[in-house]
Chains A and B, each alone.
Chain A
Amino acid sequence: MSRFDRAGVAGAAVLVVAALVAVIGPLLISADALDVTRVTAAPWQSPGAEYWLGTDHTGRSVALLMVQGAGTSLFVGLTAAVLAVGIGALVGILSGHFGGLVAGALLRVTDFFLVLPALVLAIALSTVLPRGLGTIVLAIALTSWPSTARMVRAQTLTIEARPFVERARALGGGHAHVIGRHVLPSVVPLVLVNATLAVASAIVMESTLAFLGLGDPTRISWGAILHQAQLHGAVPQRAWWFLLPPGVAIVVVVLAFTLVGRALEAVVTPKR
């Protein structure tokens, strides 16, 4: 097993654990434990036997917040990445396959989104649109598809130049045939790798937006916990247990996605 393989397997293991926590965790937590009006613990309690990661400014367990937040962070990261890569792949294949005016128009739109500062656009979108998970997903997806589009277009162009595509055309194959039978199967591995890497950046983006207070106020996410911690003075309280766990969790999950993406990349990239 090469270095990448081992790193990839380790990343995959982390992701499985994170996914289990995100799916099963919320089922085991009673609604009372996260309700500020019903919690019994004192605020700003440091980590101990009862509260592993201490409590926040209202006395809620940080450990339970973390578990509850995992689902939101992963969900937003995954859906935003799938949406972004989907748009990117579609635009990339269409512009690569058709060329000419279609490609020109699509590429100018791509360039437009590519040069816009992603964070600024996402902030602008989430202030204009109604607040909610959907808005965040949309904001992230709209800002991160252009790089995928460029890459998929490049791959499409190299495939289109191969003689077997010419043979397919000579056999009478139309656009749908060439795209469906030749271009798409060659692009899919690349798209998968890209999606994995895109999830990592989407999670970071979600955390950033939530940290800036632009997230869905009704849901807990890792970024939102950081936002709360910053807002309610975790630093002057020296409540490191309120700040550190969400930060570390984000780093670990993003790293895991990156490692898995890299390992997949090594697998699908032809040798030579």
Chain B
Amino acid sequence: MLELKNLTVHYGHKRVVDDVSLLLAPGQTLGLAGESGSGKSTVAMSVLRLLPRTARVGGEILLDGDDVRTMSWGKLRAVRWASASIVFQGAMHSLNPVRRVGDQIAEPMRLHGTNGSVDELLDQVELPKDKARAYPHELSGGQKQRVMIAMALACGPRLVIADEPTTALDVVVQAQVLKVMKRLVAEQDLGLLMISHDLSVLAETCDDLAVMYRGQVVERGSTRDVIANPRHPHTAALTAAFPVIGDPAHRWTEPAEPSAPLLEVREVKVDYGRTRAVDGVDLTIGRGEIVALVGQSGSGKTTLARTIMGLRKPSSGRVIFDGVEVPRKGKALKAFRRQVQLVLQDPASALNPRHKVLDAVAEGLRVHGIPGDEESLVTAAVERAELRPASLYLEALPHELSGGQQQRVVIAGALVLQPRLLVADEPVASLDASVRGEIVALLLRLRRELGLASLIITHDLGLAWQIADRVAVMHQGKIVEQGSVEQVLLNPSHDYTRALLRAVPQV
């Protein structure tokens, strides 16, 4: 049905896709895995000739035997959506915010003059009929993604291309969306080309897998084989990045000795207006201990972290650090912040684009007026964060660095103050698979060498398994279960923990 022969795409002199050949039969599901910049989205867009004008496309793209590259405009219009359609990445940006979703689903049918009912499509993606009258902002992330799927199915295509359909959704919702897609593919005998950086998502939905690296397909085969016996080192790196919960090989942390508590959270409640975001939480982090705080988006885990940092005042309750209640303002709060450092999710936005690495890392030193040779302190911290030699990076601006390097700069900026606790909010969620492992290893090494305790906030149970000593599960503002990693993840006692674990895609 879809055949790519020696597909090559250039932007200027840069070769983005290099000699890719793929074959997809009707009813077949093919996963295309790769990191950002590997060219996987470019391949997807080329199928419907959606690449920008500056792209030069070589090779053949055969859709039902016709070459998309040379198709007439009228023919291409007919092919788009009627024989192949796309579920775009990021449903929140791909839906028009000022039109009802029902009209948007109907749009391709109107353009192509096909018959069909919006109600039926909504039913297929398991949404109630009355949602057709909703505007995008009235729907949750998972519902919007299902609207996008309904839209892709509107003209009864035989091929659906899904470009990262579940990124930015949390585990439980991701599992629901994947279930819908799997069922539709099976029922309607669709061909599915699914693109993701997340191997476990592809393993869940696709029979076959192709791995892209630097524009080339480096490995191709049935999903099970590729994941079980990766032949290319890049595939191995990708599989290693998605830890299997319960597998001792993926448990990278060494068991820590029980230690005196460093941070204690007692009965903390935080309100936003009338909503109670954090509802009576007790949490303890020992010296040198790594605690993972897991939960869905909206469970209040980020608010709790902000409260611990003293960035938000709790409505009631106490936060005790090293035996002393955390001060709420003035010099004492400033001194406390030297001890506790924050690492944010998206390193690109956590660094001021106008500041050089040197300034970004030295910011903490300057704020606290720490005496000593600034440059040597910064160099030491940057090298601790494994950017070696530091002199190569100090003068760089953030946009000149990769995502992993940026995250190391953020970590170096925290380390330079010699903190005792690191609060990391989704530290690896926006990083590529191969970089993710390195950052996790870095956090563990810092604990070993500096005795640095961490609170890792994540929706990713695999990360918790990899790195943490203890896990606390948060649900609707409450901690519903906490204990050692083995106990919570292997023998969960609370229903919500079980639901979270069930939702994790299995390789």
A contact set with B: CB distance below 8 Å: 162-164, 166-174, 177, 181-182, 185-186
Contacts and interface: CB of A to CB of B under 8 A. Distances in A.
Contacts of B335: 172
A177 B349 CA distance: 18
Interface stretch (B5-13, B119-127, B350-358): B350-358
B417 A171 contact: yes
Contacts of A186: 354
Contacts of A164: 349-352
Interface-central residue, B333, B350, B351, by most chain A CB under 10 Å: B350
Interface-central residue, A163, A167, A177, by most chain B CB under 10 Å: A167
A235 to B, nearest CB: 54
Given A172-B364, A182-B352, A186-B354, A167 B338 contact: no
B142 to A, nearest CB: 25
Contact of B363 (A163, A166, A168): A168
B341 A163 contact: no
- Give the size range of B's interface with the partner: 20 to 34
Given A171-B413, A172-B334, A186-B354, A166 B342 contact: yes
Contact of A167 (B333, B366, B368, B413): B413
Interface string B306-347: 000101000000000000000000000111011001101110
Nearest to A176: B367
A169 B335 CA distance: 12
B342 A170 contact: yes
B341 A171 contact: yes
A173 B349 contact: no
B101 to A, nearest CB: 28
- 5 smallest A-B Cβ distances: which pairs? A170-B342, A172-B337, A171-B364, A172-B334, A163-B349
B309 A170 contact: yes
Nearest to A185: B354
B375 to A, nearest CB: 18
B352 to A, nearest CB: 5
A interface SS class:
helix
B352 A172 contact: no
A103 to B, nearest CB: 18
Given A167-B413, A168-B363, A171-B367, A162 B349 contact: yes
A185 B337 CA distance: 25
B278 interface: no
Contact of B341 (A166, A170, A174): A170
Given A163-B346, A171-B341, 6 more contacts: A162-B349, A166-B311, A168-B363, A170-B341, A171-B363, A172-B368
A231 B413 CA distance: 69
B337 A170 contact: yes
A24 to B, nearest CB: 39
Contacts of A182: 352
A71 to B, nearest CB: 38
A174 B342 contact: no
Contacts of B338: 172
Contacts of B344: 163, 166-167
A169 B352 CA distance: 13
Interface in B384-417: 410, 413, 417
Given A172-B364, A172-B367, A167 B410 contact: yes
